[in-house]
Structure 1
Amino acid sequence: MPNVRPVPTVRRRRLGEALRRYRNSAGMSLDMAAATMGWIGPKLSRIETANGHIRPAEVAALLQSYGVVDPEVVSALEGLAKDARKQGWWQTYSGVVAPAYADYISLESDAASVHEFAPLLIPGLLQTASYARETIAANATTRTPEEVAALAEVRQARQAVLTRPQHALKFWAVIHEAVLHQRFAIRPNTMRDQLRRLLDVTDLPNVTLQILPLDVTPHPGGAGAFSLVGFPGPMPDVVLLENLIGATYVEGVDEVRTFADAFERIVAAALPTDDSLALIARMEERCRK
């Protein structure tokens, strides 16, 4: 049987990027660093480019050769190596969940926080089942009804990160007011129930919700939706950008900082949380009439 080249995952890319960064900081070439492990340069190159595997014990030894002994850093990178091929509940849906989406779900399950700007749709972590089915069906135009139903189940299952017993995900969403005006002709109660869901979920202490008003002045969110995923400890954050054909990840430290700064400016432009909830409540009441 021919060797199958491993497909890079976000976890492996983050690990490889971190190892490359520490190697460069130590002033070591690929060949020099590989020699400390008894390897040849191409093996380390494959690891750094996320095309090769490395065991957790090897991560610790490699970091030691770079002079990195901070236990928090070592533990975090060992964890990435250990979890690079980790299977999760979403594997049950592997027939409908694309690899890039599976990557994101795994990152979301590891994350300490997610900051999301949503100019077009209610964020997936806050969607009702009905809203999820309707919007997935509208966007996933090539999917069968059965696949749409399965993807809606996945979206609902993801929401467990908001209520997990230990270290619940800290979720901060800024939603454009235009999203709240969306209507569903076939199921008119969909938006009413969705608005009620937004009000209910903010009872969770780890959920912050703001609305960006229609009359807001120009802001960085004009460039489109994004999710900024933050991790505990020394691990760098990741940004997710989505479109009709898949997802793109932004992983460079400077590039991620650009999105973090943009989110801060969007937050400053949005309504305060109390005013945001009052607006949602008024719209929900209007839907009930």
Structure 2
Amino acid sequence: MRRWRAEAGLRQEDVAAVLDWSKPKLSRFENAEKSAGPAEVLALAAVYGVPDAERDQYVALALQARQKGWWQRYGQDALASNFEEYVGLESEAAEVHEFSGELIPGLLQTERYATELMQAWIPQADEVVMKERTDLRSQRQARLHETNPLTLGTVIHESALRQLVGGPEVMREQLKHLAAGAKLPNVTVQVLPFSAGAIPALGAPFIVLSFPDQEDPDVAFAEHLTGSVYMEDPAEVEAYTLNYSALRSKALSQKESITFLNRLARDL
């Protein structure tokens, strides 16, 4: 794919614009971080003017190599809205930085906490979908414990820690789980206390994903009630990165945050 683009004399951003793709999507194909399917190969071959015989050869290879990501075995309802794309990005990311205002970040949620959230959602999913979502979250969380683990940095507002999701017992377990997770070498948990006052991005939680290959630019992600939005423009992503850095500077240190979490758990 890189050779095709080089021979056509096109830049990644040019090709992405023609196909209405994101630049990271094309970059992941070119760096073999994601398998291109037959449709993607056909689209690229058309843009690059690849001869039919060569195009058909690579379409056949794409058919053979096409393998679903582990998350795609779940039903459509388990991957609400366009969350499937996020899970795919997260599975390829080297680092995830998240600012959470009202909820515990999904990668650090306990099963009981997550179940309480799902049961409160409107419309409520059936038991099969909730079980699939629980399993999906567990698979995502497993990346924190791999040999080459995902690096996770979080800034969690105190309001998320004091929201009694499921009652005191569920929250006590969740807070202890957070404190334990913060002791992993690849996980940073910082509490943003009420005393911080007016802070950047108040009321606007977000996630920034960074990838192993430097050619793959960071992607910012934010959810709303019925869906989500991805930001890939460098200037826009930089704003999220700067806000995350500012939030970290106003939050408690890792050590102070663990003490805060343990104290809050004892007081419940």
TM-score, length-normalised on structure 2?
Answer: 0.77
1:229 equivalenced with 2:200 (yes/no): no
The answer on whether the counterparts of 1:175 and 1:210 sit within 8 Å (CA) in structure 2 is yes
Match of 2:112 among 130, 139, 151: 130
Q: 2:155 matched to 1:177?
A: no
Does structure 1 retain, via aligned residues, the 8 Å contact 2:118–2:124? Answer: no
Counterpart-to-counterpart distance in 2, 1:82 and 1:157: 20
RMSD: 3.0
- 2:21 corresponds in structure 1 to 50
- Do the aligned partners of residues 271 and 94 (structure 1) sit closer, same or farther apart at CA in structure 2, a change above 3 Å counting? same
After superposing on structure 2, the runs of 4+ consecutive aligned residues of structure 1 that deviate more than 2 Å are: 22-26, 44-48, 75-78, 80-86, 139-142
Identity %: 32
The residue number in structure 2 matching 1:139 is 121
Q: CA deviation at 1:149?
A: 2.7
What residue identity is the alignment partner of 1:125? L
**CA–CA distance in 1 between the matches of 2:31 and 2:94?**
18
Residues 81, 226 of structure 2: 8 Å contact kept: no
Cα distance 1:45–1:174, how it changes in 2: closer, same or farther (>3 A)? closer
- 1:109 equivalent in structure 2: 91
**Which residue number in structure 2 is paired with residue 249 of structure 1?**
230
Give matches, 1:30-179, under 5 Å: 48-50=19-21, 77-80=30-33, 82=35, 87-96=68-77, 97-98=79-80, 100-165=82-147, 167-179=148-160
Q: Which residue of 1 aligns with 2:219?
A: 238
| CA spacing shift, 1:276–1:269, aligned 2, 3 Å | same
Q: Report the AA paired with residue 181 of structure 2.
A: V
Partner SS for 1:211 = strand
User: 1:54-85: per-residue Cα shift (whole Å, max 9, x none)?
Assistant: 9xxxx8xxxxxxxxxxxxx8x87332563567
CA distance in 2: counterparts of 1:168 and 1:45, whole angstroms = 30
Report the alpha carbon displacement of residue 259 of structure 1 after superposing the two structures with TM. 0.2
Q: 1: distance between equivalents of 2:234 and 2:242?
A: 12
1:11 aligns with: none
Give the whole-Å Cα distance in 2 for the aligned partners of 1:184 and 1:257.
Answer: 33
- 3-state SS, counterpart of residue 79 of structure 1: coil
Q: What is the DSSP-based 3-state SS (H/G/I as helix, E as strand, rest coil) of the residue aligned with 1:258?
A: helix
Q: Does 1:198 align with 2:169?
A: no
Amino acid at match of 1:78: N
Structure 1 pair 81–154 and aligned structure 2 pair: CA distance change class (3 A): closer
Number of residues paired by the alignment? 231
Distance 1:135 1:45, change over 3 A: closer
Give the structure 1 partner of residue 54 of structure 2: none
Is 1:218 aligned to 2:198, yes or no?
yes
> Match of 1:33?
none
Deviations 1:24-52 (A, max 9, x none): 699xxx7xxxxxxxxxxxxx57764139x
Cα gap change, 1:148/1:284 in structure 2, threshold over 3 Å: closer, same or farther? same
The two structures have a TM-score, normalised by structure 1, of 0.71
Q: Could you tell me how far 1:223 is from its partner in structure 2?
A: 4.3
For the 8 Å contact 1:174–1:212, the answer to whether it is kept is yes
